[in-house]
């Protein structure tokens, strides 16, 4: 009596266990493949930054989604200027926009004459002032 | 989702509750209701948590709670099954964990607090670990002191420390504007912290957790700095640390040694690992059934080795399910990380997921022998309050992070290291599952058959072994009791050497070991019945009875005559080789194994040795009998009648002759000078062939263990030194077969101890028909030898001999048999007595051979 009931319970146990796992794995798989179908990787409009430091013109283009600006050599755009902080600001691409964020720099960052406190969206042809340095922004629109 | 988990766990509970009745073959439904205690505790805890998070975290990830709760429930029930006491504690810990979960759920900006006060958490963790140095204890009383005692509860600070360290690392990396591998800004401060924590743990000999930290740290560094190459640091570090540790720490050396070869030292350090693999093998594909296996044979099955319990009782299907549940949890966790709005949330979710994954890989890999064993817990499943509560709180953090998602996709560069880590984790889980499958299938038979597997003792308690009978139906071994308490009882304890014992602690010997398949119901029972019993009860069917060739009248007489003398007697049918009596003294009483084992082990006279079959005695002057045939064959003139004057009488044979006071035949009484003379003039080629045919260099084919045969002598060796024959070691059984060959017209039978077995249909099925016989001599040659050795008064022939065991202890031989005038079954006998007792040997031999005429 016990043995037969036990065996039936064991079979049901495996069925319900694997039913749960089946659904879980199937949904997980769908979410993985779904992400791939949506593209997985997102296209980033190429960002070009132009500035003049000590009458030397610097123009750099970036394909990454994250560009760090400052005086430190580990920054993506190194601005050798005393009014620029070590890590002055960063440009990041998310929500289909390029955003500029001030990293609590000593002299602050300005978009035209607006002091940048919160991350803001930048557009093609905008100019950002990092201390005394002027950063001209060019964004190549996506096809 | 949660409903399916509830149903699954309910079924598991119900199956466990039925198990005891199943084992006892109960006719009525017998339910062990106590299994519903952990189930109800789990149900209450989980449902309360579920109700609360439904309200407070409506956008949470839907998979985390069901999988984590499912694992925790499975753990609680399995722990209860192994130890109700610890099961109860674990249930209490679970409810406490749920309570803490609810409290923490109410702190809405929990994540922010964690991030802001990261150094506080870190310090707290380190202080807790530090405390174990001062007031640390070990609940078992000895071993690593990794616990803190608070009233009657023990907490293991390294468990919360893991989570606290992850929180610290996540917060630190999230504060970095751009974490990179620059030495000063990110690696150095964290390395100091991780290194310090690691050192504390290494000082505590908690090397598992220490290595876990280091790997976790490298993984977090990899995803935060987005450098995939850093992953290579892990194998490099592991190798380096392993090599250094191997030579610096004894603990690591032992662990690595037993990992590399678990079967070398299974009685000592590797016992646990060997038992773990056997448990997994016992489970096979579908397992023995919940509550029906014997997972308690694996030491600390409740905590470190809980995976093997699941492997035994739920099989590969069960362990694969556990691995999948863990993997679902980990992958969902990493998904939460990827869709997290904040970097802190991302790193924290990743850290927690990696922590679950690493712990699982470490301990399951260790359990199965894939990795050196580290004493970390299996998340949610292992017994341990600190670990369970830490895991529950980690789940809360994951759930909370999962509610704060960012709608945007993240760039491939950021995502890539997460993908790699996920792939490595999934690959490791897959590897574990495959190895688990290998242990459970191709390796299954081999592992189950290992001597270290004690499961047969459990089977014996619940399903009766076969009984053993003598030829005329006397019961030699009986089974007493009912299912759950079956016990073997030996009615003829003087035969314990041959019958053997089957003791849970000391293993099996003799017929109990060699006839295990029949007695245990594996052989002779139809396959489908065996399968049915295994499937339903995880027990073999009732064993089959066997009948021996032993004649109790002769056996009792042999035992009586041998008395307290050390030695052995084998009396057999000269034609068929059936053994009518087999005595080995000193013997022991197999019924009292538990009481006498210690003293048996200390005795120097080897009572456990079956001298009749396993004794290895030098042939001594009996060599003359074996050489005599070849001497006659080569037509060498050798007149025994006149030889008596030529040969010196040594004290042994002289005394034997005196006692017999009949013919003064120096050959019959094994005088050394005769043996040397005969050996000296024999043709070595003929002699070698005869020794071979007598079976002196091969082990007899017997149902019980026999002595290792002597290495064969070559013709060249015999040519150089024919006296080497006297040093050949033989067992009394082999000599009985030599005597049988001389008695039985020169044809040597193979010995036979087991006569038949009782089939499930109730018929006695004869065993071993058609055993090979070897022709040693022609009938006329055998008759000629018999004639020279025959007794002057009785219809028997015999010869005595003597030798020195290890060149110092005296040994007396007697072999003999019936002559053709004998009217009944032809008989052959061999006696070995470990003293100088030719008179005793002659008395025993002649008495037994004569007694046989009337039996």
Prediction pTM value: 0.83
Q: CB–CB of A3 and B413 under 8 A? A: no
pLDDT in tens, B417-435: 898 899 999 999 999 999 9
Euclidean distance between CA atoms B725 and B439, whole angstroms: 49
SS (H, E, C) B66-132: HHHHHHHHHHHHHHHHHCHHHHHHHHHHHHHHHHHHHHHHCCCCHHHHHHHCHHHHHHHHHHHHHHH
User: Would an 8 Å CB–CB cutoff place A31 in contact with chain B?
Assistant: yes
> What is the rounded distance in angstroms from the CA atom of residue B339 to the CA atom of residue B316?
34
Which B residues in the span 102-161 are in contact with A, Cβ-Cβ below 8 Å? none
A68–B290 CB contact, under 8 Å: no
- Rounded percentage of chain B residues whose pLDDT exceeds 70: 94
> Minimal Cα–Cα distance from B402 to chain A, Å?
15
Greater model confidence, A74 or B643: A74
C-alpha radius of gyration, chain B, whole number = 37
Q: Which one of A6, A17, A90 has the shortest CB-CB distance to B22?
A: A6
Q: Looking at residue B649, what is its pLDDT?
A: 64
Are A132 and A83 within 8 A, CB to CB? yes
Query: Rg of the Cα trace of chain A?
Result: 26
Q: What is the pLDDT of residue B238?
A: 79
Q: What separation in angstroms does the CA of B68 have from each of A11, A77, B393?
A: 23, 46, 11
Q: Residue B675 burial by CB count (10 A; 0-12/13-18/19+): exposed, middle or buried?
A: buried
What pLDDT is attached to residue B637? Answer: 59
Which tokens hold the place of B782?
């055998």
| ipTM higher than threshold 0.85 | no
Contact assignment for A23 to B1 by CB distance below 8 Å: yes
CB B290 within 8 A of CB B314: yes
Mutate: best of A6, A7, A45, A77, partner B, most B CBs <10 A: A6
3-state helix, strand, coil in chain A (%, to 5): 25, 35, 40
Continuous segment of H or E residues that includes residue A101: strand A97-102
Q: How many CA atoms lie within 13 A of B547 on its CB side?
A: 16
Mean pLDDT of B331-345: 90
Look at residue A39 in the predicted model and tell me its pLDDT. Answer: 47
CB contact under 8 A, B412 and A40: yes
Chain A window 103-122: which residues touch B at a Cβ cutoff of 8 Å?
A: 103
Chain A positions touching B28 (Cβ under 8 A) are 1
Q: What does the pLDDT read at residue B186? A: 62
Model confidence over B70-88: pLDDT tens digits?
A: 999 999 999 999 999 999 9
Q: Does A136 touch chain B (CB under 8 A)?
A: no
Is residue B179's pLDDT more than 60? no
B73 contacts on A by Cβ (under 8 Å): none
pLDDT tens readout for residues B498-537: 999 998 888 889 999 999 999 999 988 999 999 999 999 9
Q: Is A87 in Cβ contact with B177 (below 8 Å)? A: yes
Residue whose entry in the numeric block shows the structure tokens 């009572």: B607
> Are B22 and A2 within 8 A, CB to CB?
yes
Residue B768: predicted pLDDT: 66
Q: Which among B8, B178, B335 has the least Cβ separation from residue A20?
A: B8
Instruction: Provide, as residue numbers in chain A, all residues whose Cβ is less than 8 Å from the Cβ of B422.
Output: none
Q: State pLDDT tens for residues B374-390.
A: 888 999 999 988 999 99
> Is B792 buried (19+), middle (13-18) or exposed (0-12) by CB count in 10 A?
exposed
Is residue B180 within 8 angstroms of chain A, CB to CB? yes
Cα dihedral B110, B111, B112, B118 in deg (nearest 10) = 100
Q: Say if CB B408 and CB A44 are below 8 A apart.
A: no
pLDDT reported for residue B198:
82
Nearest CA in chain B to A19: B4
Helix (H, G, I), strand (E, B) or coil at B179: coil
pLDDT digits (tens, 9 = 90+) for B317-336: 999 999 999 999 999 999 99
Contact across the interface for B409 and A40, Cβ inside 8 Å: yes
Report the candidate in B195, B43, B47, B175 with the shortest Cα–Cα distance to residue B115.
Answer: B175
Choose between B11 and A62: higher pLDDT: B11
Do B331 and A20 make contact, defined as CB atoms within 8 angstroms?
no
Residue B813: what pLDDT? Answer: 94
Q: Is A53 in CB contact (< 8 Å) with chain B?
A: no
Write phi, then psi, for B563 (nearest 5 degrees): 50, -130
Say if residue B180's pLDDT is above 70: no
Using the beta-carbon criterion (under 8 Å), do B177 and A68 form an inter-chain contact? yes
CB pairs under 8 A between A and B: 121
Task: Give the residue from B226, B171, B183 showing the smallest Cα distance to B413.
Answer: B226
Residue B103's φ and ψ, nearest 5 degrees, are -60, -50
Chain B residue nearest residue A94, CA to CA: B408
Q: What is the pLDDT of residue B185?
A: 62
| B434 vs A: CB within 8 A | no
Q: Does A94 touch chain B (CB under 8 A)?
A: yes
Identify the helix (H) or strand (E) that includes residue B572: strand B567-573
Chain B residues 271-290 with CB within 8 Å of chain A? 286-287, 289-290
The nearest alpha carbon in chain A to B412 belongs to: A41
Q: Does B70 touch chain A (CB under 8 A)?
A: yes
Residue pair A10/B15 in contact (Cβ under 8 Å)? The answer is: yes
Considering only alpha carbons, which residue of chain B is nearest residue A3? B22
Work out the mean pLDDT of chain B and round it to a whole number.
87
* Chain A residues in contact with B324 (beta carbon < 8 A): 21, 24-25
Number of H helices, E strands in chain A: 1, 11
Residue B628 confidence (pLDDT): 86
Summarised one tens digit per residue, pLDDT across range B567-606 is 999 999 999 999 999 999 999 999 998 888 988 888 888 8
Nearest CA in chain B to A44: B411
The burial of B590, by beta-carbon neighbours within 10 Å (0-12 exposed, 13-18 middle, 19 or more buried), is given as buried
Residue B281 has pLDDT above 60, yes or no: yes
Greater confidence, B663 or B383?
B383
Pick the most confident of A14-18, A78-82, B652-656, B801-805.
A14-18
Confidence at residue B639, expressed as pLDDT on a 0 to 100 scale: 59
- State how far the Cα of A88 lies from the Cα of B277, in Å rounded to an integer: 59
pLDDT (tens digit per residue) in B246-275: 777 777 777 777 777 778 777 777 888 889
Residue B345 tokens read as 């949330």
pLDDT for B210: 85
**B22: region left, alpha or beta (phi > 0 left; psi from -120 to 50 alpha):** alpha
- How confident is the model over B401-416, as pLDDT tens digits? 999 887 766 777 778 8
Structure tokens at B539: 């027990």
Q: Is A59 on the interface with B (CB under 8 A)?
A: no
**B542 to chain A, closest Cα gap in Å:** 16
Average pLDDT over residues B814-842: 90
CA–CA distance, B613 with B736 (Å, rounded to integer): 10
pLDDT of residue B261: 79
Give me the pLDDT at residue B11, please: 94
What's the pLDDT at B648? 61
B405 touches chain A (CB under 8 A): no
Distance from CA of B179 to the nearest CA of A (A): 11
């Amino acid at each position: 009596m016990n043995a037969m009931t036990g065996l039936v319970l064991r079979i049901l146990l495996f069925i319900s266990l694997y039913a749960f796992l089946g659904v879980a794995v199937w949904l997980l798989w769908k979410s993985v493949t779904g992400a791939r179908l949506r593209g997985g990787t997102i296209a980033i409009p190429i960002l070009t930054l132009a500035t003049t430091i000590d009458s030397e013109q610097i123009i750099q283009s970036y394909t990454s989604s994250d560009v760090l600006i400052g005086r430190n050599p580990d920054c993506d755009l190194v601005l050798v200027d005393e009014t620029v902080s070590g890590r002055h600001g960063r440009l990041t691409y998310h929500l289909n926009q390029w955003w500029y964020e001030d990293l609590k720099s000593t002299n602050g960052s300005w978009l035209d004459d607006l002091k940048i406190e919160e991350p803001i969206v930048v557009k093609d042809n905008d100019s950002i002032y990092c201390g005394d340095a002027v950063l001209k922004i060019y964004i190549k629109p996506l096809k | 989702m949660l409903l399916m988990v509830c149903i699954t766990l309910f079924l598991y509970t119900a199956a466990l509750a039925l198990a005891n009745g199943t084992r006892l073959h109960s006719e009525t439904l017998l339910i062990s209701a106590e299994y519903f205690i952990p189930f109800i505790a789990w149900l209450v805890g989980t449902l309360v948590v579920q109700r609360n998070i439904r309200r407070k975290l409506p956008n949470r990830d839907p998979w985390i709670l069901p999988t984590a709760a499912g694992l925790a429930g499975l753990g609680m029930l399995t722990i209860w099954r192994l130890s109700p006491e610890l099961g109860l504690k674990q249930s209490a810990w679970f409810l406490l964990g749920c309570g803490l979960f609810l409290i923490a759920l109410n702190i809405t900006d929990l994540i922010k607090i964690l991030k802001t006060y990261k150094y506080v958490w870190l310090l707290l963790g380190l202080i807790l670990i530090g405390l174990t140095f001062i007031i640390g204890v070990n609940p078992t009383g000895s071993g690593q002191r990794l616990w803190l005692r608070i009233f009657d509860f023990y907490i293991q600070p390294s468990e919360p420390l893991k989570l606290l360290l992850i929180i610290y690392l996540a917060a630190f990396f999230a504060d970095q504007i751009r974490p990179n591998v620059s030495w000063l800004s990110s690696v150095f401060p964290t390395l100091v912290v991780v290194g310090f924590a690691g050192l504390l743990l290494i000082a505590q000999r908690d090397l598992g957790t220490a290595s876990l930290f280091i790997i976790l740290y490298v993984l977090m560094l990899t995803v935060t700095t987005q450098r995939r190459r850093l992953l290579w640091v892990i194998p490099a570090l592991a190798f380096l640390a392993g090599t250094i540790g191997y030579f610096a720490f004894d603990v690591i050396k032992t662990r690595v040694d037993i990992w590399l070869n678990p079967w070398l030292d299974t009685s000592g350090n590797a016992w646990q690992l060997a038992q773990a693999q056997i448990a997994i093998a016992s489970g096979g594909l579908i397992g023995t059934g919940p509550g029906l296996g014997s997972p308690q044979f694996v030491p600390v099955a409740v905590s470190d080795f809980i995976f093997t319990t699941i492997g035994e009782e739920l099989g590969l299907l069960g362990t694969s399910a556990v691995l999948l549940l863990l993997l679902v949890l980990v992958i969902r966790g990493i998904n939460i990380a990827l869709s997290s709005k904040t970097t802190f949330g991302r790193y924290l979710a990743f850290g927690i997921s990696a922590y679950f994954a690493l712990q699982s890989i470490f301990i399951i890999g260790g359990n199965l022998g894939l990795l050196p064993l580290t004493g970390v817990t299996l998340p949610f499943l292992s017994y341990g309050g600190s670990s369970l509560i830490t895991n529950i709180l980690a789940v809360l953090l994951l759930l909370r992070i999962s509610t704060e998602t960012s709608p945007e996709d993240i760039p491939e560069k950021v995502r890539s290291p997460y993908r790699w880590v996920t792939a490595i984790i999934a690959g490791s889980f897959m590897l574990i599952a495959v190895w688990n499958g290998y242990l459970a299938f191709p390796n299954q038979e081999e592992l189950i058959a290992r001597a270290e597997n004690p499961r047969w003792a459990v089977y014996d308690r619940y399903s009766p072994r076969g009984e053993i009978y003598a030829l005329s139906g006397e019961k030699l071994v009986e089974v007493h009791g009912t299912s759950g308490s079956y016990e073997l009882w030996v009615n003829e304890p003087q035969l314990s050497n041959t019958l053997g014992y089957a003791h849970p602690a000391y293993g099996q010997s003799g017929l109990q070991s060699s006839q295990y398949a029949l007695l245990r119901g594996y052989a002779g029972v139809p396959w489908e019945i065996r399968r049915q019993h295994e499937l339903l009860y995880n027990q073999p069917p009732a064993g089959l009875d066997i009948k021996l060739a032993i004649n109790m009248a002769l056996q009792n007489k042999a035992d009586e005559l041998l008395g307290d003398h050390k030695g052995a007697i084998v009396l057999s049918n000269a034609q068929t080789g059936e053994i009518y009596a087999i005595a080995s003294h000193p013997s022991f009483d197999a019924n009292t194994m538990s009481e006498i084992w210690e003293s048996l082990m200390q005795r120097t006279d080897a009572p456990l040795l079956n001298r009749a079959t396993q004794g290895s005695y030098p042939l001594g002057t009996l060599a003359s009998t074996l050489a005599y045939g070849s001497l006659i064959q080569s037509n060498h003139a050798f007149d025994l009648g006149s030889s008596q004057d030529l040969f010196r009488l040594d004290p042994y044979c002289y005394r034997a002759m005196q006692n017999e006071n009949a013919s003064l035949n120096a050959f019959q009484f094994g005088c050394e000078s005769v043996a040397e003379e005969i050996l000296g003039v024999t043709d070595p080629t003929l002699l070698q062939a005869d020794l071979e045919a007598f079976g002196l260099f091969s082990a007899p084919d017997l149902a019980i263990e026999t002595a290792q045969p002597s290495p064969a002598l070559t013709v060249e060796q015999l040519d150089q030194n024919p006296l080497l024959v006297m040093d050949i070691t033989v067992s009394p059984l082999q000599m009985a077969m030599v005597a049988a060959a001389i008695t039985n017209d020169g044809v040597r039978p193979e010995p036979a101890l087991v006569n038949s077995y009782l089939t499930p249909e109730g018929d006695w099925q004869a065993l071993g028909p058609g055993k090979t016989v070897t022709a040693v001599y022609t009938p006329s040659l055998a008759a000629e030898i018999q004639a020279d050795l025959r007794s002057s008064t009785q219809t028997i022939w015999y010869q005595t001999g003597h030798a020195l065991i290890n060149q110092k202890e005296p040994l007396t031989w007697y072999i003999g048999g019936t002559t053709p005038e004998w009217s009944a079954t032809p008989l052959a006998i061999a006696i070995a007595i470990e003293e100088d007792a030719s008179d005793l040997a002659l008395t025993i031999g002649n008495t037994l051979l004569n007694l046989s005429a009337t039996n």
